[in-house]
Amino acid sequence: MTEEIKKEEKKVEAPKAEAKPQTKAETKPANQKVEGKPTDKKPDAKPGEKKEGKPGDNKHGPRKDHRRPRREEAKEYEERVVEINRISKTVQGGRHMRFSALVVIGDKKGKYGFAMEKSGEVPDAIKKALEAAKHNMFTIHIVKKGFTIAHEVMGKYGATKVYLKPAPAGTGIIAGGPVRAILELGGLKNVVSKVYGARASINVIRATHNAIINLKSFRDVQTLRGKLENKPETNTEEAK
């Protein structure tokens, strides 16, 4: 009986798994490439050999700029575009569109100029106005103490009137766009202004210009009052 029981126990035991033979790919180490599967990494180049790169890669460091730097020419006058208008003229074939540009220039040292020109394109109109303004320059009598005007003055052009009044240091320029453009580029720093009547930009500028040319210097006022006499210079040798 015991022998039969032992034979039955041997039959119940599960058979052991047989070891499978390893393939060539499995036997190779992990670091080594497997044949037939390309890898992204490329082997490092040996010393003295050039590395292969992409077509856009820079192999010799950052690109050198051999171009000469542009010379920025110092501008003689500062420019300011006051207004740009579109002009439409109806003709037989339709409407003819143009543009007008009102420009003020100045050196902030007592010189200013203004002009208004027209052209089919805005940049051309501005360029023409700048050239015309350079041929239409004027000067301002600036009181150095406070960078203001000498006295109150009223300028007129058509239906527009511009009132200018001197102001103490620190006040600044209290004015609108067209008046401010002339006063700032002309070199004034402390002025109070007021515009009466029509407000067209070109008329405001012309009225401001009329007020500036009517300004009188301290020497002119003394001459008018008779306090300053223009005595002719006499030669000392002839007087002896």
Looking at the structure, give the CATH architecture of the domain made up of residues 153-223. 2-Layer Sandwich (3.30)
Q: 184 burial class (0-12, 13-18, 19+ CB within 10 angstroms)? A: buried
Alpha-carbon torsion 25, 30, 34, 37, what sign?
positive
| pLDDT digit string (tens) for the chain, length 240 residues | 556 555 555 555 555 555 555 555 455 555 555 555 555 555 555 655 555 555 555 566 666 767 777 766 678 899 999 999 999 999 988 999 999 999 999 999 999 999 999 999 999 999 999 999 999 999 998 888 889 998 999 999 999 999 999 999 999 999 999 999 999 999 999 999 999 999 999 999 999 999 999 998 878 877 888 876 655 544 444 444
Going from N- to C-terminal start, the domains of the chain cover 78-139, 153-223
The model carries a pTM of: 0.64
**Beta strand 160-166 with 153-157: parallel, antiparallel or unpaired?**
antiparallel
In SS3 terms, 107-123 reads as CCCCEEEEEEEEECCHH
Domains 78-139 and 153-223 alike in fold: no
Looking at the structure, give the CATH architecture of the domain made up of residues 78-139. 2-Layer Sandwich (3.30)
Per residue in 74-117, pLDDT (tens digit) is 788 999 999 999 999 999 889 999 999 999 999 999 999 999 99
